[in-house]
Amino acid sequence: MEEEKVYLSVVRQDIVKYDMLVKSLVQEIREHTGSQEELDDLGSLVRSRITQLREQIEELKRLAQRSKDELMTSSRKDKNEVNGGGVTQRERMNREMLLKNSTQLSDDLLTVTRLIRDNTEKSRKTVDRMVEGSQTISTTQEELKTMGSEIGQARKILNKYGRRENTDKLLIFLGLVFFLASCLVVLRNRFIF
């Protein structure tokens, strides 16, 4: 009986430990700013811890069933002894202890089940947010690539217009020089002859 209590206590502690680990990992996922590979590793670790948590809950259910079976067996035995004689104080205390342990196990099982359901829901929401964030990042990345190519084309066009502007300035300068030279030739021919 004492060994069962110790084992039950260890199972409860393991359930609390795995629950805390899952919550901690989910918080890490929420605050994660690293690569997708690191995020996948964290997700895999969460799934592993949830599996371990479920195993401990199954063990707690099994222990609750054993306590329930013992309680039922003890109850039938007590009825037989009451009919045949008397129930000793120790047997009555054992029955009450089994009843108390069974009730405590049931309460613990309900609490753990609720915690797992809540954590699973939080994990699902976190994964949904991560998927949405990943899609947003992909969309933004595509838009940035498109904008980058458009900026490159705009730069080429500006460079082309810059070269044309320089060519136009050179042509205007040469035209002006030619005009002035022509004027000088005309003036020289008029005044010299």
3-state secondary structure 89-155: HHHHHHHHHHHHHHHHHHHHHHHHHHHHHHHHHHHHHHHHHHHHHHHHHHHHHHHHHHHHHHHHHHH
> For the chain, first and last CA: distance in Å?
139
174, part of any domain: no
CATH number of the domain within which 10 lies? 1.20.58
Evaluate whether 23 touches 119 at the Cβ level (below 8 Å).
yes
Q: What band does 70 get if pLDDT is binned at 50, 70 and 90?
A: low
- The tally of domains found in the chain comes to 1
Evaluate whether 22 touches 50 at the Cβ level (below 8 Å).
yes
The pLDDT of residue 39: 76
Evaluate whether 81 touches 87 at the Cβ level (below 8 Å).
yes
The pLDDT of residue 109: 66
53, part of any domain: yes
Average pLDDT, the chain: 79
* Residue range(s) defining the domain that contains residue 53: 2-150
144, part of any domain: yes
The per-residue DSSP string of 25-39 comes to HHHHHHH--S-HHHH
Q: Looking at the predicted structure, is the pLDDT value of residue 183 above 80?
A: yes
137, part of any domain: yes
Q: What band does 85 get if pLDDT is binned at 50, 70 and 90?
A: very low
Residue type present at position 12: R
185, part of any domain: no
166, part of any domain: no
| pTM score, whole prediction | 0.41
5: left (phi over 0), alpha (psi -120 to 50) or beta: alpha
C-alpha span between 45 and 36 (Å, rounded): 14
Residues 12-31 have pLDDT tens digits of 888 888 878 878 887 887 78
Which range is least confidently modeled, 1-10, 49-58, 168-177? 1-10
The pLDDT of residue 87: 52
* Percent of all residues in the chain with a pLDDT value above 70, rounded to a whole number: 80
* Percent of all residues in the chain with a pLDDT value above 90, rounded to a whole number: 11
